[in-house]
Amino acid sequence: MAAAGGSPFAARTDGVTVAVKVTPKASRNTVTGLAEDADGRQHLAVAVSAPPEGGKANTAVVKLLAREWRVAKSAITVISGGASRRKSLHVAGDPQRLLLDLRGWLSDIGRGCGANGGISR
């Protein structure tokens, strides 16, 4: 569900979808950058310390990204891949504003200054 042009973000009428690749049971919770599949699709690479059991890793991903993007946890939902490392998330809100903010956040973490930089809503 990644957008064309190598972005993990895609606009929808009610928000933005985010393609994510999760590494569970990591040493810490962090966004590690972008990952690319064999087919060239971009995913946001996320590592969480929670195990992939009983939805614990999904909960940790939502909590981490909500904190990073400074949005409510309730604004982020797993829409596909609940039992997979590759997931699609939905972030509810104005899609144009979210895309702008998420792309800026991604640029900031690429430069090493995005930890908890947040996005505005």
CA distance 35 to 37: 7
Domain boundaries, the chain: 9-110
The confidence score (pLDDT) of residue 52 equals 95
**DSSP state, 3?**
B
The confidence score (pLDDT) of residue 118 equals 43
Helical spans, DSSP H, in 3-80 = 56-69
Task: Output the six-digit token pair for 95.
Answer: 């899609």
Q: For every one of its 121 residues, what pLDDT tens digit does the chain have, with 9 covering 90 and above? A: 444 447 899 999 999 999 999 999 999 999 999 988 888 889 999 999 999 999 999 999 999 999 999 999 999 999 999 999 999 999 999 999 999 999 999 988 876 644 444 443 3
Q: Which CATH superfamily is domain 9-110 in?
A: YggU-like (3.30.1200.10)
